[in-house]
Structure 1
Amino acid sequence: MDAVVDQVSRNSLMSIAEACGAAIACARPLSRGETVRLNQSAGRILAETCVARIASPPFTQSAMDGYALVAASGLTEGTRLMIVDRVPAGRCGRRLSAGEAARIFTGAPMPEGADAVVMQEHVERDDTSIVLTRRMTAGDNVRHQGEDIEPLEPLLKPGIRLDPRHVALLSAQGAETVAVMSRLRIAVLSTGDELQDAGAMLSGAAVYDSNRPMLLSLLGQAGHDAIDGGRAPDSRAEIAERLRMLSERSDLVISTGGASVGEEDHSLAALRHAGGSGRVLKIALKPAKPAIVGSIGPAAYLGLPGNPVASLVSWLILGQAMVGALQGRPHRPHIGYPLAIAAGFARRPGRTEFVPARLVSDKGQEVRVEIIGKGSAAQLRPLALADGLAEIAAECADLRPGDLIRFHPFSGTFQG
């Protein structure tokens, strides 16, 4: 692991892709799994390939409310057909011959001999017969057996995050349970002499800890088992002891604060003192230029910056890459949506920048992105007002209204 991190750390600033590669190299895929009820599987990671048990549709059926008939080589407008049966969903009808029709409803099995369904809006009806008001051909408004799914066809691959769409697909196959990866156990430790927990009185230069509650909430929202590791002062020995204890019951240990190489940055030294290994990564990223990736005992380790916006950005990029690796999923970075910005934004090129932003539109005009705040890594209010993060490419200098950026909505970004 150290050799991989060494290789990508030689340059003064590494790319985001290189940093993700270094983070992934520290996270070994886990093999723990369990079987859960299908209706409780949303948000879990699929552990095994799911194969179709039956065809879908399981039988040839009507796609509309209307009348089943024998179209053969075609029936012209004005053709009269005698109504001889009624076929609701869940019931099989009698065989139809030429000149006959059966009242049929969506999803009902096609009667033997029938090969088309005329919509009820396209007939004129009396008590015993219908008259076509349009031409009909064989196959009209019919769903054929297996046209969606054939038996034994692979449906879902391991590593996907199940959601209600997948639950519906597997339910239609008669599945009651599904094999999923066990939830990741992820511990979060805050470090810093200045931190106080909510409810305590602030004194002197103390501030309330916002990173740990934020990260624990993110982990819970993403379906992980979040472990509150508490907070430790700026002491190498105390941080090391906390890291050692957390690593014994976690798959990934996260610490916030002290992730750089200053004299008050103790995370890397504490990691090594606890028997772990790792490196500081200097990334072409704003905020969150420094981060630490490594391992300690059986757990992967990620050291995040102390400023809250930087901590969030680093987690969304590096943390989610590590989570994917632990779950055995291929790394797929968030791409974002290309959108124009509503107003100018001053910046220096050189690092990819993520800033809080919201979506705006004026009187039906196209949706644009409005950057909130001045890009400070310590300000939480712009983050709370934002709809997502605006990603500004490293090579971009000052932005003008109408310039394109990539927008990452929070609605999808927090689920990794």
Structure 2
Amino acid sequence: MTITIASRAPEQDMGRQKALLPVPDACRRAASYATPLRAAETVSVFEALGRTLAAPVAAELAMPPFSQSAMDGYALAAGDGIHSGARLEVVERIAAGSVGKRLGQGKASRLFTGAPLPEGADAVIMQEHVEREGSAIILRRPIRAGDNVRYRGEDIEPFEPLFGTGERLDARHIALLAAQGIARVGVLVRARVAVISTGDELRQAGAGLGAAAIYDSNRPMLLALIAQAGLIAIDGGWVPDDAERLAARMRELAGRVDLVLTSGGASAGEEDHALSALDRAGGRGETLKIALKPGKPAVVGAIGAAAYLGLPGNPVSSLVSWLILGHAMVSALEGRAPRQRLGCPMTSRSHFDRRPGRAEFAPARLSEDGGVEILGRGGSARLRPLVQADGLAEIATDNAGVLPGDTVLFHPFRDGFVV
């Protein structure tokens, strides 16, 4: 992921970060631990939203299925062209869903958008461009063959490939399937993703807080993100900072899900047990130090057939890591290559100081003049800037600071939570 912004990176700052793994490489490493799903089922197109195709789909019909009018107007046989001022007799009226009679020279058929062209007609003149006189029309501009006509098959021909295996279906795909008369499609079973929160300091909503405790926000957030992505979210509960207990929970969940997430304990401190627990659970994996902010540390691996992703404990770090590494792993589960989040290039209205060396995602909101405002140094543990934001501004790895007028990539929340 890059942005088109001039680099102001001191060489010494870049040198400190050379050991960090670039985000695309981290995504590939994470995806390598995911075993593609094989089980499939057939569902109605009304239930196909967010599902992933298990097999390619080809067109069964031409689209449009017949040559039709693109406008409300009059069909006629234009041939080599009809000049302005020509007078034609209107012989019939054709509504959408009706079929007209053969049309001769010097004749016209009144018809409406989507109605089939009668045999012999090759053009449609808009109703605004004629004058009606009794049973005749007078053209107020010249007309040529092909004007305002949608020809049979100009959009899609029969047997043309529509979608490939691994395509994630949204409302656009469902519209095309329905227009083809396809009632049911074969899709992969939904990936099952379990979320475990870790940390002695965490308490659950409804429980009292001690002097050094906080409420668990990551698990509810991640479960919501998983559900929003169209996956099956499974609550794996909370586990204290104990590698053996965490390993037991991970091992139990790995036997019935496709991806296990843990939140917290992904770094290398004495109380960070994610990698150790993965090993004790009989899994394999590694800690990644990623050129990403927030979210530098993450643990990736597998326990049997289930992939594993250990996320940082701070909420914004956890969210960003899920959107990037989680996207890569879910894509691999569903048999497709991860697709880079391109974002929308937008002009920053903010001054944002930072050290280069990591791609940074900062909460940002849209400004009234069409730019984006980066919401200060929100920090990876602060949720208020995240809630106030319209999305995330991505700042390039080699950029040493954003000035007003610089370009950043903006990732809106309205579609950025779909992996």
Letter in 1 for 2:413: F
> What's 1:5 paired with?
none
Q: RMSD of aligned C-alpha atoms?
A: 1.3
Letter in 2 for 1:406: L
Segment drifting more, 333-342 vs 201-210:
333-342
Segment drifting more, 335-344 vs 27-36:
335-344
Secondary structure of the equivalent of 2:402?
coil
Q: How does 1:374-393 map to 2 (within 5 A)?
A: 374-393=377-396
Cα distance in 2 between the residues matched to 1:168 and 1:343:
41
1:38 and 2:52 correspond: no
Q: CA deviation at 1:120?
A: 1.4
Cα distance in 1 between the residues matched to 2:226 and 2:262:
14
> What's 1:149 paired with?
156
Q: CA deviation at 1:190?
A: 0.5
TM (norm. structure 1) is 0.94
Paired positions, count: 402
> What's 1:4 paired with?
none
Cα distance in 2 between the residues matched to 1:129 and 1:341:
60
Cα distance in 2 between the residues matched to 1:193 and 1:330:
37
Cα distance in 1 between the residues matched to 2:84 and 2:347:
53
> What's 1:86 paired with?
93
Q: CA deviation at 1:165?
A: 1.3
**The one of 198, 202, 206 aligned to 1:195:** 202
1:95 and 2:98 correspond: no
Cα distance in 2 between the residues matched to 1:117 and 1:360:
45
Cα distance in 1 between the residues matched to 2:104 and 2:347:
62
1:265 and 2:272 correspond: yes
The runs of 5 or more residues in structure 2 that have no matched partner are 1-17
1:397 and 2:404 correspond: no
1:303-360 Cα offsets, whole Å, 9 max, x none, are: 0111111111111111111010100111112122222221211211222211111111
1:355 and 2:362 correspond: yes
Q: CA deviation at 1:399?
A: 2.6
Cα distance in 2 between the residues matched to 1:354 and 1:212:
21
> What's 2:170 paired with?
163
> What's 1:372 paired with?
375
TM (norm. structure 2) is 0.93
1:36-76 Cα offsets, whole Å, 9 max, x none, are: 11122122112221111111111112222112222222222
> What's 1:29 paired with?
36
1:121 and 2:128 correspond: yes
Q: CA deviation at 1:398?
A: 3.0
* Residues 398 and 134 of structure 1: CA distance in aligned 2, closer, same or farther (over 3 Å): closer
1:1-52 Cα offsets, whole Å, 9 max, x none, are: xxxxxxxxxx731111111111011111111211111122122112221111
Q: CA deviation at 1:160?
A: 2.0
* Residues 292 and 142 of structure 1: CA distance in aligned 2, closer, same or farther (over 3 Å): same
Identity %: 59
Q: How does 1:69-80 map to 2 (within 5 A)?
A: 69-80=76-87
Segment drifting more, 200-209 vs 210-219:
200-209
Cα distance in 2 between the residues matched to 1:398 and 1:240:
41
Letter in 1 for 2:262: S
1:227 and 2:234 correspond: yes
1:144-186 Cα offsets, whole Å, 9 max, x none, are: 1111111101111222221111111111111111111211100
Secondary structure of the equivalent of 2:317?
helix
Letter in 1 for 2:219: R
Cα distance in 1 between the residues matched to 2:375 and 2:399:
18
* Residues 399 and 79 of structure 1: CA distance in aligned 2, closer, same or farther (over 3 Å): closer
1:57 and 2:64 correspond: yes
Cα distance in 1 between the residues matched to 2:117 and 2:231:
47
* Residues 281 and 109 of structure 1: CA distance in aligned 2, closer, same or farther (over 3 Å): same
Cα distance in 1 between the residues matched to 2:23 and 2:348:
23
Q: CA deviation at 1:126?
A: 2.1
Segment drifting more, 383-392 vs 245-254:
383-392
Segment drifting more, 177-186 vs 216-225:
177-186
Cα distance in 1 between the residues matched to 2:374 and 2:77:
63
Letter in 1 for 2:385: P
Cα distance in 1 between the residues matched to 2:51 and 2:238:
29
Cα distance in 2 between the residues matched to 1:115 and 1:404:
49
Q: CA deviation at 1:288?
A: 1.0
